[in-house]
Structure 1
Amino acid sequence: MLPKRVIGILTWREGLRFEEPAYLRKLVQTGQKLGAEIYLFSHQDVNVSARKIKGFIPKPNGGWMSKSFPWPEVVIDRYRRRVKEYIRLRNSDLFFFANSPFSKKWRVTNLLASDERVKRWIPETHVYEKGKVRNMLARHGLVYVKPGNGTGGRSILRVKSSGKDYSLSGCDKKHKHHVARIDTVEGVEKWVKTWVEEQRIRDGNFLVQQGLDLGLLRKHVVDVRLLIQKDERGEWTVTGCAIRMGEKGSATSNLHGGGKAIPFEWLMSRRFGEERGELIKQECYRLAFEVANTLEDYFGRMMEFGLDIGVDVDGRAWLIEVNPKPGREVFRQMGDMALYRKAIARPIQFALYLARNQARFLSL
């Protein structure tokens, strides 16, 4: 009998507290079903001299148990905090990682906006500075101000020019909604400046992005969450996509902020007709493959991306954001549990593929 492949999942840990514990529990359980020896660990759990890891696995009745595990053949990086110990570990050559380190949103946006393969899908985006909101409003009438290092739909502000005044709406760090109506562009600049100062995450910058008319449903912002992953053969494949529909009047479609997940085909065929809806889906898939391949060229081997894609009222697809450590709750919320399970299994299947073929990858 062949020995089990050893897969480690690198994540943040404090005591027995983990980030995204429900997902990580399912990831480890799925790996065990697929025949892997698999465990969670953090930067403080690595014993280099003994080539052992203090790893954690779920207890059957909840909670976590730890024991000493063998050195992982492949490590899946799910660490979502840029603490110095994590960065030091990522920059070492201790492990063979399934996914490479990524960069801040602004650098990624800049790279994609200047690459011939994908730039047609990128909305105009700039780093926030004095006067930038005024300039962008004059060009587009609608702009979004958002953190360059934020997640979960927090701290995103929507600014719309409405005749002689301006309407602003946003969701702060604590998911509290804010709205304002202001009658001068100078007042808008002042309001946005205060928002940026109060909502800044650590030392991160803010971005000002061309607003898109994503009102495919009246009074709701909607966008597409698409998950593209490497499969058991190491090839990019679209696992699935769904529509995220924001709360009535919300500036974002994010599920954490009260949004709902609905099937892609249902909304697109209702809005554009079945044939056009299928063409829009194909365009979203094409966008995803091009973006995944382009980013892999820049950053090295990657494993999965969650893409937020806006489809405007004319049926044109736009890339809003790329997340290299995406969630997959959209499929569960939509009620497609088979797709949800597949989305959890794929990272493990890809890691097992890498473990089997590690010698070939290390020689590249």
Structure 2
Amino acid sequence: MSAGRAKGRPPARPVLGVVVCERDGSPPFAEAFYVRSLLTAGRRFGLDVYAFSPWTWNEERRTVRAWSWDDGAGWRSEERSAPTLAYDRAWPDDPRQRERYRHGLRRMLETRSLRLLNGSLPGKAEVIRALARQPRLRKWLPPSALYRGEASLSGWLRKQDGAAFLKPSRGSQGRRVASVVRDPDGGEWTVRGRNGANRPFRLTGLRQRDALRCLDRWIGMRTYIMQPLLQLTGPAGEPFDLRLLAQRGGDGQWGATGVAVRRGRHGSVTANLHGGGEARNASSYLAETFGETRAAELLRELNEAAFAIIRQLEESYGKFAELGLDFGIDRSGRLWFLEANGKPGRAAMACAGGQAAAEAAWRPLAYARYILLRPPGRVFHEFDPV
């Protein structure tokens, strides 16, 4: 019997903390159903899992306010020792909460007593620059440039035949994206997009200078990326893209958990599920659109592109536990990389087929167990070639 352990008492389970942002009301934080599933499933992996907000950390006592789930009483909180490993699933509601979350997490990380299971990505502009340094990846990257005022967009529109897509470098869930297009007769311009609340808007009959001025005011001081307005639409003209969820598992190796199509509403500029889109099975949707042979080729290329991109992202920004990679396919059948997400959602995986939805939930726990129980000095496999 180990010294200091009471006779008959089971050994303590390794602890994983799930980072959240507390809020008033019920549930007490976003993604409560997913967090609850992590807490419940943690027992099957021999883990003690609880949720916590980083601003509740008490540096003197080395504790946090920990949230657990009780089937009879619901969510309950108590003071517990801070975890040494944390899985970040925090979604701040506003700028003030975002600052509290960042400050609290930074304080914990600076003590070197906490490690994050999942890494983080910088803005989209920095990611594009990092990927473009690898010649092998350039065939999948759309031409991109930073927005630097009305003159930069005017010049970009001349190069791109009167159409452009603009997205914020720090945006998420399809918010605050916009397209600007010269009407076929060449006289007027149309601006479409989604605002900060993810609601669609459309302005028509604009002169070019008015469209440019409108977009410049809308962008303000934010960092934006200009890209071609790729024709990423399905047979009925609906926008669609593909989400590949890649995760490390219980052996520390990367694997593709699943691929799903996200199909947006007709007339929308995005296919994001938060903007009203719906998920479809990728194999069946691509087969309907491009035929079975071409669909199989596209999925193989998607897998090749995804893991080549992951390799470059890890070389640039360190290890990740999971990444959601978004791709588009234009009307000619060409594959384009759209963006990477370091904190990917799970909703689309329900349509990915097989065990994708279940694996998407438990793979982070399996990887956390691998990290927490790995013997000292054991070699970590950086990447499993596919």
Query: Does the TM-score normalized on the shorter chain lie above 0.5?
Result: yes
| CA contact 2:144–2:225 (8 Å) conserved in 1 | yes
Give me the whole-angstrom Cα distance separating, in 2, the residues matched to 1:78 and 1:94: 19
- For the structure 1 residues 102 and 80, does the alpha-carbon distance in structure 2 shift closer, same or farther, using more than 3 Å as the test? farther
The alignment partner of 2:227 has SS state of strand
Q: Is the 8 A contact 2:264 2:278 kept in 1?
A: yes
Instruction: Give 1:21 deviation, angstroms.
Output: 1.9
Matched, 1:192 2:201: no
Indicate if the aligned counterparts of 2:109 and 2:115 stay in contact, CA closer than 8 A: no
**1:37: which partner in 2?**
48
Which whole-Å CA distance do the structure 2 matches of 1:233 and 1:303 have between them? 12
Q: 2:333 aligns with which of 302, 315, 328?
A: 315
Q: Supply the AA of the counterpart residue of 2:307.
A: F
Equivalent position of 1:351 in the other structure: 368
SS in 2 for 1:111: helix
Matched, 1:148 2:169: yes
Equivalent position amino acid for 2:16 in 1: I
1:218 and 2:241 correspond: no
Q: Deviation of residue 295 (structure 1)? A: 1.0
Contact 2:326 2:340 in 1 (8 A): yes
Q: 2:181 aligns with which of 160, 165, 177?
A: 160
- The one-letter code matched in structure 2 to 1:171 is R
**Pair 91,292 (structure 1): closer, same or farther in 2 beyond 3 Å:** farther
Mapped to 2, the partners of 1:128 and 1:285 lie a distance apart of 31
**Residues 62/271 of structure 1: CA separation in 2 closer, same or farther (3 Å cut):** farther
State the SS of the aligned residue for 1:253. coil
Find the counterpart in structure 1 of residue 155 from structure 2: 135
Cα shift readout 1:54-110 (whole Å, capped 9, x = no counterpart): 311123157411224344342212234452333333444121221233312221122
Q: Which ranges of structure 1 fall in alignment gaps of 5 or more residues?
A: 198-202
Q: Does 1:206 align with 2:224?
A: yes
Query: Amino acid of the residue matched to residue 260 of structure 1?
Result: E
Q: Runs (4+) of structure 1 moved beyond 4 Å?
A: 361-364
User: How many pairs were matched up?
Assistant: 358
Structure 2 residues not aligned, in runs of 5+: 1-9, 93-97
Alignment pair present for 1:53 and 2:76: no
RMSD: 2.4
- Structure-1 residue corresponding to 2:5: none
Q: CA deviation at 1:358?
A: 6.1
Tell whether the 8 Å contact from 1:220 to 1:248 is kept in structure 2 after alignment. Answer: yes
Corresponding residue number in structure 2 for 1:299: 317
Residues 1:166 and 1:41: Cα distance change in structure 2 (over 3 Å): same
Distance 1:44 1:6 in 2: 19
Conservation of the 8 A alpha-carbon contact between 2:119 and 2:342 = no
Report the secondary structure of 2:355's partner residue. Answer: helix
> Structure 1 residues 7-16 or 288-297, which shifts more?
7-16
- Aligned residue for 1:296, secondary structure, equals helix
Say which SS state the counterpart of residue 106 (structure 1) adopts.
Answer: helix
1:240 partner SS: strand
- 2: CA distance between counterparts of 1:134 and 1:119? 25
Measure, in 2, the Cα distance between the counterparts of 1:246 and 1:107: 27
Distance, in Å, in 1 between the alignment partners of 2:30 and 2:175 is 18
Q: 2:115 aligns with which of 93, 96, 99?
A: 96
Q: Distance in 2 between matches of 1:251 and 1:54?
A: 41
The residue correspondences of 1:319-338 to structure 2 (distance < 5 A) are: 319-332=337-350, 334=351, 336=353, 338=355
Equivalent pair of 2:234/2:289 in contact (CA under 8 Å): yes
- Report Cα offsets for 1:142-190 as digits up to 9, x if no partner: 3211111111111111222332033221111122221122454323211
Matched-pair identity in %? 27
1:240 and 2:258 correspond:
yes
Q: TM-score normalized by structure 1?
A: 0.90
Between 34-43 and 89-98, report the one with greater CA deviation.
89-98
